[in-house]
Structure 1
């Protein structure tokens, strides 16, 4: 690692940043945040994707489409809270991807990351983690939508699950956000070289 611009702590920061990004992005994309039941089949909801959802049949009787997919348009997402959550977590994941790939590149490229750039990356990680955490906190506010209530025994409301339960994708998103906060602290000792001042 002679050509790397990262210290040993920086290499750990780089790898943990990649892990936290993977957790948040997987949690964001996979529709297993909330688990309920629709017409006797397990139903799953994420922020912008769902699995096993009801649809009208040829003769008007509802049936369950047994597949996972995103909502047809952004405005088909069943609640404003989930729309905002989708934007917050999506932007947070975008920042995490940018930082983690820059940190990985710094493992191989000399003088890519100085202490000032590493600290700026750390603050950007804090911002990204706050966005993801805000989305995670806002998500339960959308449990009062008709689609969710149907899957939760018509007992769900904002921040009350009804007969539904939280699923694993929600938890890995939380874990990724917490790990990103940890990474932001590691960024302060990530750079091998201090700031370079060029004189004329």
Structure 2
């Protein structure tokens, strides 16, 4: 004969209540010193206490209807936790625009650094040559005094008489092999690589306002690591650049005394200093990325997300 669920519960409760009594009377039949059920009696009593534990009763199955499914009742704290988990799952599928002071500062600085390095890389004002006078220019209204030609990584600026004494800027190297020296070729590769990485981070930083993770990894930590790598590439490129000052191209601009790490009559232009500033700013962005991660994952932001807000602005 099968017992229903309530009958099984009654049978279990009756059995567990009679176990200590049964062991007690069997204990009286013979001396306690030779009785093997002394330990079993204490184990059964502990099992009865375990079955009556309040935390067990709260989550226990309290009934079953013949036609319906099982019903589980959870304590209030558990239900609250489940509701919070469901809200968090729904919030992850939504796009939340999170704007904080630290994250916005990091985004703006990342974009500025990328543009600064790109402009410095393309500029011809890395080296300013010694002053020259263009005596062949004698047209009216044209300044025929002294001027300083400039030389960049792959471009230059000169005043040409064939164009009315105006300054003409453009690339002096038609191909990569025609760059002034091998050191400059290597410097261009490192500078271009670092600038490319900074440009990618600048694009990602714009989308970081809406997406804060990539493949369950923090987008700020990934971008910070990339900015540190870009800073190292730019630093190596700037260290290789002065080693090419002894090339024939630089000697024609700076005089015969020009050699590696010695520009002679030339002086450094604004592009070189802009590249140095970009390196320092890149490392600063790598540090600020950690602060942006802390700001966008704070408790205040999580509370705003749980409330269902899609636009979150915090100071």
**TM-score (normalised: structure 1):** 0.83
- Where do residues 111-190 of structure 1 align in structure 2 (5 Å cutoff)? 111-112=212-213, 116-190=218-292
CA distance in 2, matches of 1:88, 1:52: 27
- Asked if residue 42 in structure 1 is aligned to residue 148 in structure 2, the reply is yes
RMSD: 2.5
5+ residue gaps, structure 1 = 58-63, 195-200
How many pairs does the alignment contain?
A: 184
Structure 1 contact 74–83 (Cα < 8 Å) conserved = yes
Q: 110-119 or 148-157, which moves further after superposition?
A: 110-119
- Where do residues 68-147 of structure 1 align in structure 2 (5 Å cutoff)? 68-70=169-171, 71-107=173-209, 109-112=210-213, 116-147=218-249
- Give the aligned partner of residue 20 of structure 2: none
Structure 2 contact 212–220 (Cα < 8 Å) conserved = no
Change (3 A) 1:89 1:116: same
Structure 2 contact 208–219 (Cα < 8 Å) conserved = no
1:72-126 deviation line (CA, Å, top 9, x unaligned):
111110100111111110110000000011101222x244567633112111101
Task: Give the 3-state SS of the residue equivalent to 2:218 in structure 1.
Answer: helix
CA distance in 1, matches of 2:244, 2:212: 46
Task: Give the 3-state SS of the residue equivalent to 2:124 in structure 1.
Answer: coil
Deviation of 1:5 after TM superposition, in Å, equals 4.4
- Give the aligned partner of residue 8 of structure 2: none
| More contact order relative to length (CA 8 Å, sep ≥ 6) | 1
- Give the aligned partner of residue 80 of structure 2: none
- Give the aligned partner of residue 107 of structure 2: 14
- Give the aligned partner of residue 197 of structure 1: none
CA distance in 2, matches of 1:53, 1:145: 22
1:133-175 deviation line (CA, Å, top 9, x unaligned):
1111211111100111111121100000111100111101110
Change (3 A) 1:26 1:67: same
CA distance in 2, matches of 1:95, 1:53: 35
CA distance in 2, matches of 1:65, 1:141: 31
Deviation of 1:53 after TM superposition, in Å, equals 8.1
Task: Give the 3-state SS of the residue equivalent to 1:144 in structure 2.
Answer: coil
CA distance in 2, matches of 1:106, 1:48: 35
Deviation of 1:51 after TM superposition, in Å, equals 1.6
**TM-score (normalised: structure 2):** 0.54
The runs of 4+ residues in structure 1 deviating greater than 6 Å are none
Task: Give the 3-state SS of the residue equivalent to 2:108 in structure 1.
Answer: helix
Deviation of 1:49 after TM superposition, in Å, equals 1.7
CA distance in 2, matches of 1:95, 1:19: 14
Change (3 A) 1:141 1:27: same
Change (3 A) 1:48 1:8: same
